[in-house]
Chain A
Amino acid sequence: MKHAKAVKECDIKIFSCPKLGNSLEEYEDAWAHRQTRTPVGIRVAVADGATESSFAKLWAVLLAESYVRSEVTGAEFFARLKSARRLWRRRLAGRPLPWFASEKAEQGAFAAFLGVQIDAHKNRWTALAVGDCCLMQVDNVGKGMRVVEMFPLQKSSQFTMSPYLIGSRSNGESLNERIQISKGSLRDGDMLLLATDAVAAWLLKQHEEGRPLWKWLYRKLSTPESFAAMIAYGRKNALRNDDFTLVRVIHHDLPVEAKES
């Protein structure tokens, strides 16, 4: 019962679209969300499979699903990817591949990752990231709304075409220096946006140039058509051609009885 209420208080919407010129089957981002029991809340993840790696969609899905099915919020999540990596290898095993595909698969697949756990009781979030998928927290205060947090990148100029990513093959390299963790608190009506790199970089750029879209994202973004309209506008205004994924979470305080139960 408590469970159902927790989810009801979080309004989650997912928006996605493949790179222009690619088919839907070639879309290589992934997202997942799932309710948690202790603490009561939700876990949300986005992952972005790298263009220059093979079987990256499968790896992005495995990363996102592994996070929402886990209970870990810290860096140790990345030390527990053994079964996801095994699954990735198993899906490829025995598949007849030409020499170039086989050699590319040997390098492994790579993806950027962002996972966020929202504790609905304590009104707090914890985020974990490797790479350039971003979390933006915007509060519902004032006319223009205020950006409270940007994580792990804060400026559009910080995005590059060669970020450090999580590999589907454990090559012994330590991820420790690449793992980013952040925490924050939530107020009633706060909006959390989880975005893959191109759309995140563009939203930050719009914000930096005094044309923020936060209010529009909060009030107007509701359907796949409205997301498509935003992407069409973006494509005319310096949005890089890529797969796009945007997860919008609007947080509402739990009713008192739910918190007490």
Chain B
Amino acid sequence: MAYQAEISRKNPGCFLFLIDQSESMEDPFGGGEDGRRKAEELATILNKLIHNLCIRCAKSDSIYDYFHVGVLGYSEESCKPALGGELSGRSLVPIGDLASKPLRIEERIKKSDDGAGGVMDQTVKFPVWFDPYWKGGTPMCAALQEATRIVATWCQEHPTGFPPIIINITDGEATDGDLVAEARKLTAVGCDDGSVLLFNIHLSSTAGPSIELPTNANQLPDQHAKQLFEASSRLTPFMVARAKELGMPAAENSRGFIFNAQPLHVIHFLDIGTRPANVHLR
């Protein structure tokens, strides 16, 4: 049966993020009500995803390399590794390296329970790996081709591992070819345990209700969303069960597609051992 491989330090999982850095990401996000650009929303999402992956893998005073993570940015006419600082130029990085080498660690104020029914300000560390950026066109097909090359190498090197998961975060429209055809080529790559999985996170300028893990394209607002849905892989049975546990509306034929919503739960779709039900996600 596919998608059963255990994720461990010896046989790590792989997350590869594809990041839309095209000019259209300068536009307002979700109707522009809170004054944020799509590029800023994307940076927040990516920083939170990496942050949560680090916390997930933290173990006592160290961190276990359960995952290797890559970030490819696509803009203008090219696609290239988008991690900065000491990680610049690397396409896949063990999670421990990400944890110890963010671009910077900011201190932010968070409201928290004061234990006496009130709210207090608490200073928390907020590591940043990625800043907002936008320029030029949307070479999403080039990004999918580069992802295909990277995960094919990964699968050769980890033939018995859990297949890589590619998470594409975009505002929707490829300017360099047939997105669905390139996605098919990408998801044709695989390990002994199954084909690689492609999930799409669609950040739209359109205001409207969020959509998570749909089973069909009927409710999706436009052609770009429908195309991204078409390009998205079906969730595995474990992922459907885990998504339901986390309160997401998943069903048997759900696709890894999210429209205008925070995709933080997605990194919990891979199992690395007992996860307490009473730990709430950030």
Contact = CB atoms under 8 A, between A and B. Distances in A.
Interface of A: 21, 48, 50-55, 95, 97-104, 107, 110, 112, 160-165, 167, 172-173, 197, 241-242
A162 B274 contact: yes
Contact of A50 (B6, B57, B61, B274): B274
7 contacts: A54-B59, A100-B54, A100-B55, A110-B278, A112-B274, A165-B277, A167-B278
A185 B274 CA distance: 32
A52 B67 CA distance: 14
Contacts of B9: 21
B45 interface: no
A98 B275 contact: no
A241 B242 CA distance: 19
Contacts of B10: 21
What are the 5 tightest A-B residue pairs by CB atom distance, in nearest-first order?
A51-B273, A104-B58, A110-B276, A100-B58, A52-B275
Contact of B105 (A99, A101, A110, A197): A99
Contact of A164 (B56, B99, B277): B277
Contacts of A21: 8-10
B62 A101 contact: yes
A241 B6 CA distance: 8
B272 A98 contact: no
A75 to B, nearest CB: 17
Contacts of A162: 242, 245, 274-277
Contacts of A53: 276, 279
A242 B58 contact: no
Interface string B43-64: 0000000000011111111110
Given A55-B60, A110-B278, A241-B6, A103 B273 contact: no
A163 B276 contact: yes
B125 interface: yes
Contact of A48 (B54, B274, B277): B274
Contacts of A110: 276, 278-279
Nearest to B9: A21
A48 to B, nearest CB: 7
Interface string B116-155: 0000000011010000000000000000000000000000
Q: Pick the most buried of B6, B274, B279: most chain A CB atoms within 10 A of its CB.
A: B274
B271 interface: yes
B238 to A, nearest CB: 8
Given A21-B10, A165-B278, 4 more contacts: A21-B8, A51-B275, A55-B60, A164-B278
A103 B54 CA distance: 10
A125 B241 CA distance: 36
B61 A97 contact: yes
B125 A103 contact: yes
B279 A161 contact: no
B58 A101 contact: yes
Contact of B274 (A100, A161, A172): A161
B8 A98 contact: no
B55 A103 contact: yes
Q: Pick the most buried of A99, A103, A172: most chain B CB atoms within 10 A of its CB.
A: A99
Interface in B223-282: 242, 245, 271-279
Contact of A173 (B8, B273, B278): B278
Contacts of A165: 274, 276-278
Interface string B62-104: 1100000000000000000000000000000000000110000
